[in-house]
């Protein structure tokens, strides 16, 4: 190796050696710190002891999800230490497990719902939790619900409690369901971005934000029907639980100003007077009330409780017997992309590998695919569907369970199943296809740029940035799109045993609720994930089994750091503190607008289908209940 001889060379050589030394010190120090933290976590604290008479505290802090979004373990560890862990998520399965086990646990006397930190979540997930709460009440144990300000999602769960307590300065913010969209056509024109749109199906409204400045009549017609179905489910459930007349909620909302004026503009008193809540108490008074109703905590002015995390950790024998037969469960959550993706999005290659693993595992006797996706790449959707069909060739049953959304590409992959389950509040269908291809020739002109060149054919270089899309390329994309739609229709017709004409009448990009989807033959049965698992076991001919979640395996290093991050997260104390208010402040409204804008426009650049063909449901975001 040549040594530096000049003064400048020696200086940079010494600087390089210093950098390498400091990097080694920092990395080794960080590794040593992790080892110490891991050792400390192994020593840990004494096992958590559940005191007899405790209430189960259910305080969901974040969005209800089927699967945690992957976060780099190191980032999660550092973020948790700074109390800045990013978007918060609550695993529905853990809530359901804790509530169902507590219902038959003699140590648990009651359940307390604290809903201040529950974020907008899928309606079907809320209904699953509500069902668990209803089953809990059948045990004879009471449920108390508290909120500073109830959003519609929060109030839906609170309504399933025996007693609903609202802060004296709070409100119940009911407004009904809606689907709203920001439209960008004029803005894109001003920016000089020319979005070439290709679609089949007059109800395929995913592209409307890029070609219109308002909602089309077809989209209004379709959206009004499934929104009405979901709102009917909401009002029926709440009215039944609160013993209200069926028309009360609509009248309460539509004449809110009149009702509010009767009570001098006080929303808390309004809610109490109309039977939406049972008591108005401040936070300290709520704690005192629960101390008297449940039991006082020793050496504390709090009530006696155990939170869901500690409760599940404290279970002494979570599995009595290990079954030799397994029902595989794969969660397919998020937008579908080509290639590999981490949890929180669906990668065609990633999901294909998981399905293939289930097919090769002799312990797996059947597979349940839980879908929570509005679709995405057409190519990746077909990669997944093909692998599901190959799985069925093994002779093992395949059952699909739809969560809040299983539309467009999400429905494409569902067609491979032996049987499809949906929730009444599921959003599905959206059988249509579109293509988006932005070009920037106008932007180039504005900036004083130009793109030019030469090719050996009329198609060569036609998709160069800064150049207009050639008529030949447009025709190719449109013809490919129409072929994709024909394939979609044929796949649905074959899998659902319907005629092509029958499928075409219910397709055309139209969105359906789970209730309507069953009536028109897009799904087989209405039921929960547990119902789907039981059906898979029945089809496999087994009575004794265990459910095995099939997911990407973390490396040992990732597992270590993830465990440390989880320990930091779980050590936080759960309180009544609300991290979000019932009404949006101006800065939060601006932040929300920024997220929507970034999400909508980001799709143009993030979608990575090799053929620029997409099976995606834009309006399905309305399945999230706020």
Catalytic residue among 109, 110, 121, 204: 204
SS3 state of residue 87: coil
Nearest to residue 348, comparing CAs of 369, 371, 378, 374?
A: 378
Q: Please indicate, yes or no, whether residues 397 and 513 belong to a single structural domain of this protein.
A: yes
Q: Please indicate, yes or no, whether residues 301 and 449 belong to a single structural domain of this protein.
A: no
Q: Please indicate, yes or no, whether residues 409 and 524 belong to a single structural domain of this protein.
A: yes
DSSP 622: G
Is 191 within a domain?
no
Question: Does residue 148 come out as left (phi exceeding 0), alpha (psi in the -120 to 50 range) or beta?
Answer: alpha
Locate 19 and state its tokens: 């950098």
- Distance (Å, whole) CA 156 – CA 120: 12
Continuous segment of H or E residues that includes residue 143:
strand 143-147
Q: How many domains does the chain have?
A: 2
Neighbours of 605 (CB within 10 A): 9
Distances (CA, A) of 255 to 239, 248, 251, 559: 17, 11, 6, 54
The separation between CA 577 and the C-alpha centre of its own chain, rounded to angstroms, equals: 24
Q: Please, what sign has the CA dihedral across residues 278, 52, 48, 304?
A: positive
Continuous segment of H or E residues that includes residue 240:
helix 217-242
What is the mean pLDDT, run by run of 10 residues, along the chain of 626 residues?
53 63 62 58 62 94 89 58 62 95 95 95 94 96 97 97 97 90 83 79 73 85 89 96 93 94 95 97 95 90 92 69 85 93 91 96 96 93 96 97 95 97 95 83 84 84 81 88 92 95 91 95 96 97 94 63 49 45 46 56 66 75 67
Domain boundary among 251, 280, 314: 314
Is 487 within a domain?
yes
Locate 250 and state its tokens: 């609509």
Is 581 within a domain?
no
The separation between CA 582 and the C-alpha centre of its own chain, rounded to angstroms, equals: 21
Q: Please indicate, yes or no, whether residues 302 and 365 belong to a single structural domain of this protein.
A: no
Is 208 within a domain?
no
Is 202 within a domain?
no
Place of tokens 């210093």: 18
Determine phi and psi for 47, rounding to 5 degrees.
-55, 140
Nearest to residue 616, comparing CAs of 347, 403, 432, 346?
A: 432
Is 579 an active-site residue? no
Nearest to residue 144, comparing CAs of 127, 125, 161, 126?
A: 161
Distances (CA, A) of 125 to 15, 95, 111, 226, 481: 57, 11, 19, 17, 34
The separation between CA 113 and the C-alpha centre of its own chain, rounded to angstroms, equals: 21
Is 99 within a domain?
yes
Catalytic residue among 403, 408, 423, 430: 408
CA dihedral (93, 96, 102, 104) in degrees, to 10, reads -110
Is 391 within a domain?
yes
Is 408 an active-site residue? yes
| Helices and strands (H and E) in the chain: how many | 23, 24
Q: Please indicate, yes or no, whether residues 106 and 251 belong to a single structural domain of this protein.
A: yes
pLDDT of residue 573: 38
- Distance (Å, whole) CA 215 – CA 203: 11
Is 576 within a domain?
no
- Distance (Å, whole) CA 192 – CA 438: 10
Domain boundary among 314, 342, 372: 314
Proportion of the chain in helix, strand, coil states, percent, rounded to 5: 45, 20, 35
Q: Is 531 exposed, middle or buried (0-12, 13-18, 19+ CB in 10 A)?
A: middle
Q: Please indicate, yes or no, whether residues 373 and 403 belong to a single structural domain of this protein.
A: yes
pLDDT of residue 578: 47
The separation between CA 422 and the C-alpha centre of its own chain, rounded to angstroms, equals: 16
Q: What CATH number corresponds to the domain at position 482? A: 3.90.226.10
- Distance (Å, whole) CA 329 – CA 354: 10
Locate 573 and state its tokens: 């104390």
Q: Please indicate, yes or no, whether residues 298 and 341 belong to a single structural domain of this protein.
A: no
Q: Please indicate, yes or no, whether residues 278 and 353 belong to a single structural domain of this protein.
A: no
Domain boundary among 286, 314, 342: 314
Which residues contact residue 241 at a Cβ distance below 8 angstroms, ignoring those fewer than 6 apart?
A: 159, 160
Q: Please indicate, yes or no, whether residues 309 and 351 belong to a single structural domain of this protein.
A: no
Assess contact for 206 and 181: CB atoms under 8 A.
no
Q: Please indicate, yes or no, whether residues 286 and 379 belong to a single structural domain of this protein.
A: no
Domain around 281? 54-178+218-314
Q: Please indicate, yes or no, whether residues 273 and 361 belong to a single structural domain of this protein.
A: no
Continuous segment of H or E residues that includes residue 371:
strand 364-373
Could you give the count of Cα atoms lying within 13 Å of 45 in the half-sphere of its Cβ?
Answer: 8
Q: Please indicate, yes or no, whether residues 248 and 340 belong to a single structural domain of this protein.
A: no
């Amino acid at each position: 190796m040549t040594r530096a001889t000049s003064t400048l060379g020696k200086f940079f050589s010494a600087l390089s050696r210093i950098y390498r030394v400091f990097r080694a010190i920092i990395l080794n120090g960080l590794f040593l710190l992790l080892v110490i933290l891991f050792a400390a976590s192994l020593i840990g604290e004494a096992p958590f002891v559940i005191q007899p008479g405790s209430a189960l505290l259910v305080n969901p802090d974040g969005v209800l999800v089927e699967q945690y979004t992957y976060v780099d373990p190191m980032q999660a560890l550092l973020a948790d230490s700074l109390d800045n862990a990013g978007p918060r998520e609550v695993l529905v399965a853990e809530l359901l497990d804790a509530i169902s086990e507590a219902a038959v646990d003699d140590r648990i006397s009651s359940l307390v719902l604290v809903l201040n930190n529950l974020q907008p979540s899928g309606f079907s997930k809320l209904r699953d939790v509500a069902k668990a709460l209803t089953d809990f009440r059948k045990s004879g144990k009471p449920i108390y619900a508290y909120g500073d300000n109830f959003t519609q999602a929060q109030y839906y769960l609170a309504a399933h409690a025996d007693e609903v307590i609202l802060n004296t300065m709070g409100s119940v913010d009911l407004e009904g369901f809606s689907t709203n969209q920001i439209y960008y056509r004029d803005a894109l024109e001003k920016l000089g971005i020319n979005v070439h749109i290709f679609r089949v199906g007059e109800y395929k409204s995913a592209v409307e934000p890029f070609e219109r400045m308002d909602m089309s009549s077809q989209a209004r017609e379709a959206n009004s029907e499934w929104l009405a179905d979901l709102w009917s489910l909401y009002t029926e459930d709440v009215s039944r639980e609160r013993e209200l007349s069926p028309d009360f909620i609509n009248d309460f909302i539509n004449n809110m100003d009149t009702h509010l004026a009767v009570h001098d503009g006080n929303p808390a008193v309004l809610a109490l007077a109309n039977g939406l809540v049972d008591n108005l108490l401040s936070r300290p008074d709520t704690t005192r009330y629960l101390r008297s109703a449940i039991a006082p905590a020793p050496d504390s002015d709090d009530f006696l409780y155990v939170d869901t995390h500690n409760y599940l950790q404290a279970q002494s024998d979570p599995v009595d017997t290990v079954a030799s037969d397994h029902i595989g469960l794969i969660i397919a959550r998020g937008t579908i992309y080509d290639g590999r993706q981490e949890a929180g999005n669906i990668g065609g290659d990633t999901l294909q590998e998981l399905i293939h693993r289930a097919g090769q595992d002799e312990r797996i006797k059947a597979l349940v695919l839980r879908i929570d996706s509005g679709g995405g790449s057409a190519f990746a959707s077909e990669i997944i569907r093909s692998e599901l069909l190959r799985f069925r060739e093994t002779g093992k049953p395949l059952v699909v369970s739809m969560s809040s959304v299983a539309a467009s590409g999400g429905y494409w992959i569902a067609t491979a199943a032996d049987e499809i389950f949906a929730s009444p509040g599921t959003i599905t269908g959206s059988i249509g296809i579109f293509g988006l291809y932005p070009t920037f020739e106008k932007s180039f002109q504005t900036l004083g740029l130009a793109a030019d060149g030469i090719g050996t054919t009329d198609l060569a270089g036609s998709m160069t940035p800064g150049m207009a899309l050639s008529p030949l390329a447009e025709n190719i994309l449109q013809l490919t799109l129409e072929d994709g739609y024909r394939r979609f229709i044929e796949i649905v017709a074959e899998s659902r045993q319907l005629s092509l004409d029958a499928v075409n009448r219910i397709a055309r990009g139209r969105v359906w609720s789970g209730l309507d989807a069953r009536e028109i033959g897009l799904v087989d049965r209405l039921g929960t994930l547990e119902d789907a698992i039981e059906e898979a076991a029945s089809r496999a001919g087994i009575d004794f089994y265990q459910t095995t979640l099939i997911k990407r395996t973390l490396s040992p290093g990732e597992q270590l750091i993830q465990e440390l991050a989880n320990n930091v997260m779980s050590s936080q104390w759960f309180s009544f503190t609300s991290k979000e208010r019932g009404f949006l402040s101006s800065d939060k409204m601006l932040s929300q607008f920024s997220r929507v804008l970034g999400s909508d426009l980001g799709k143009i650049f993030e979608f990575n289908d090799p053929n620029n063909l997409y099976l995606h449901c834009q309006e399905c975001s309305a399945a999230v209940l706020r």
